[in-house]
Amino acid sequence: MGKRIVIALGGNALGNTLPEQAQAVKITAKAIVDLIEDGNQVVVAHGNGPQVGIINNAMAALQKEDPSQGFTPLSVCGAMSQAYIGYDLQNAFREELLDRGIRTIPVCTIVTQVEVDPSDPAFENPSKPIGKFMSEEEAKEFSSKTGYLVKEDAGRGWRRYVASPKPKHIIEAGAIRALTEDGHLIICCGGGGIPVYRTEKNHLKGAAAVIDKDFCSELLAEQLNADMLIILTAVEKVAINFRKENEQWLDAMTPDEARRYAAEGQFAPGSMLPKVEAAVKFAESKPGRTALITLLEKARDGIAGKTGTRIQQ
C-alpha cells in the first residue's frame, strides 16, 4: 500500500527567475512522479519567495508609472504567484505523467487561502522583509505614501516588513481533500497560502503577511490525514554542529531530541529551525505519522528509509 504524502517544495525546486523556473520544474516533476509511480498519493505545496518578490516589484513599478493603479495588496501578489507557479508545475507534472504512460491522474492547481488570527502576536512585530531594497530616503517616501512599515535590512538597504503569523485553517481544505481522494495530483498552499482573516459575516480579508510554507504544509498534511510530510531543502539530512569540525548528520530524531537540539541553537532561525518545528508538530499530531527532511532528488530513497532525516515518535 502506498502512502498519502504532502510534499513541501523548497525554493531550489523552482529557481529564482522565470527561465530558471521553467527548467527547474522539469527536474521537480521527475522526482515527484517517481513517488507516484511507486504507488503513493501525493499533494504538493511550495514556496514562492523569488516569484512573489518579482510580482510585488512589477506591481510597484506599475503604480509608479501610473499612480491611478494604486498599490497592489500583498495578498493579491501572493495569489498571482500561486497561479503562475502552479501553471508551470502542473504542465511539467502532466507532461511527465503522460511521458510515462500515466493517463489517469488529472493535475490541478488550487489558489489557496489560509486563515490566520488577526490577534496573532506576529502582527505586533513584523519580521519578514519583502520587496526591493531602497535607500533611506526612498523608504521614508514609500512609507509615507502607503503606511507600510519599512526597516533597514542587515545593512543592505531598507525594505518593507510584514508579519509572519501561524496558519490556523486552510480554507480550501475540503476541495483539496475531495480532489486528492478522487485521484488528482493537487498543487496548493503556494507560498504558505494567501493569509486571510474573517471580518463581518462571511467575508475573508487578505492580510499583509507571509505564512511560513513549512508550517502551512504541516497543517495541510494534518487536514488531509496524510501518512507522511516531506520537507525538501538544500541538504540531504539535518545536521547538528553544522559546518563545524564535529558536524554530525542525523538519520532520525524523536520530537524530544529535536526540541533539545533546537533549544541548544543547533538549527538556524528562518532556515532549518521552522522545518524541524513543522516536522515535530506533524510527527506528534497522530500516532504513526512520519516527517522527512531531505533533498528533492533523495525523496524516493528517503521514503524507503535509505537517507534523509526522519522525525517520528
Secondary structure (DSSP) of the chain: ---EEEEEE-GGGT-SSHHHHHHHHHHHHHHHHHHHHTT-EEEEEE--HHHHHHHHHHHHHHHHH-GGG-PPPHHHHHHHHHHHHHHHHHHHHHHHHHHTT--S--EEE---EEE--TT-GGGGS--EEEEEEE-HHHHHHHHHHH---EEE-TTS-EEEEEB-PPP-EETTHHHHHHHHHTT-EEEE-GGG-EEEEE-STT-EEE-SB---HHHHHHHHHHHTT-SEEEEE-SSSSEEESTTSTT-EEESEE-HHHHHHHHHTT-S-TTTHHHHHHHHHHHHHHSTT-EEEEE-GGGHHHHHTTSSSEEE--
| Whether 213 is catalytic | yes
Choose, from 48, 190, 191, 213, the residue flagged as catalytic. Answer: 213
In order of 194, 276, 285, the CA distances from 280 in angstroms are 24, 6, 9
| Whether 205 is catalytic | no
Residue in the structure block whose three cell numbers are 507522511: 228
Choose, from 3, 30, 128, 132, the residue flagged as catalytic. Answer: 128
Choose, from 11, 15, 78, 192, the residue flagged as catalytic. Answer: 11
| Whether 12 is catalytic | yes
| Whether 202 is catalytic | no
| Whether 26 is catalytic | no
Choose, from 2, 12, 132, 168, the residue flagged as catalytic. Answer: 12
Choose, from 275, 281, 302, 308, the residue flagged as catalytic. Answer: 275
> Among all residues, which ones are annotated catalytic?
11-12, 128, 213, 275
